[in-house]
């Protein structure tokens, strides 16, 4: 085996071990579905339009309310937003990549995580993937979710589908 192939093989094994860690055998998965409702803009963050006509947003904050089928991950949500948006005609208005962090608070504790997504050019729909870690009563739990807004309206609700992962026995 040549050195380059060996390097790729080792890198592949490392990546597999990293990805397989949180989903090891015995993990208990609980799926949930529901909705996320826009509450208000908390802070606009830094916004500017670059010379190439891209709207940059850094550190914007918005409040939401998640109401899903599992009370452990329902609650008040604070989202930090970053984006590089291109301008488009109405009703889309802006499209492009976005990312940030979020925190969901409720009586049992809180979840913190990060997210990445995009707003589509053709319809202005938003597709977001989230990973979170639990704190308080949720310590040791992880969650993954997809948030989908099939409307160009920036305050329309998101449909939420996710799963909570609990470490289990072997």
Number of folded domains that form the chain: 1
Supply the pLDDT for residue 142.
98
Supply the pLDDT for residue 169.
60
The answer as to whether 20 is a domain residue is no
| DSSP per-residue string spanning 132-150 | EEEEETTTT-EEEEEEEE-
Structural domain for 139, as ranges = 26-166
The answer as to whether 5 is a domain residue is no
The answer as to whether 121 is a domain residue is yes
The span from the CA of 57 to the CA of 45, in Å, is 7
The answer as to whether 107 is a domain residue is yes
| DSSP per-residue string spanning 12-75 | HHHHHHHHHGGG-TT-EEEEEEEEEEEEEEEE--EEEE-TTSEEEEEEEEEEEEEEES-GGG-E
> Tens place of pLDDT for every residue, the chain, 170 residues?
465 555 555 555 555 444 444 555 689 999 999 999 999 999 999 999 999 999 999 999 999 999 999 999 999 999 999 999 999 999 999 999 999 999 999 999 999 999 999 999 999 999 999 999 999 999 999 999 999 999 999 999 999 999 999 998 65
| DSSP per-residue string spanning 60-84 | EEEEEEEEES-GGG-EEEEEEEEEE
Question: Whole-prediction pTM value?
Answer: 0.83
CATH code (residue 98): 2.40.350.10
The answer as to whether 15 is a domain residue is no
The answer as to whether 131 is a domain residue is yes
The answer as to whether 11 is a domain residue is no
Supply the pLDDT for residue 9.
56
Supply the pLDDT for residue 115.
98
The answer as to whether 77 is a domain residue is yes
Supply the pLDDT for residue 26.
86
């Amino acid at each position: 085996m040549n050195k380059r192939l060996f390097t790729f093989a080792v890198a592949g094994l490392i990546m597999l071990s990293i990805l397989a860690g949180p989903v090891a055998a015995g993990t208990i998965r609980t799926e949930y579905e529901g909705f996320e409702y826009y509450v208000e803009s908390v802070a606009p963050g830094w916004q500017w339009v670059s010379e190439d006509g891209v709207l940059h947003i850094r550190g914007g904050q918005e409040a939401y309310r998640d109401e899903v089928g599992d009370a452990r991950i329902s609650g008040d949500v604070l989202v930090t937003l970053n984006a590089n948006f291109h301008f488009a005609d109405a009703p889309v208005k802006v499209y492009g990549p976005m990312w940030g962090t979020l925190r969901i608070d409720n009586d049992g504790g809180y979840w913190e995580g990060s997210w990445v997504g995009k707003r589509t050019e053709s319809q202005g729909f938003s597709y977001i993937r989230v990973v979170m870690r639990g704190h308080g009563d949720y310590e040791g739990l992880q969650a993954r979710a997809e948030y989908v807004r099939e409307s160009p309206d920036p305050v329309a609700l998101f449909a939420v589908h996710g799963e909570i992962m609990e470490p289990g026995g072997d």
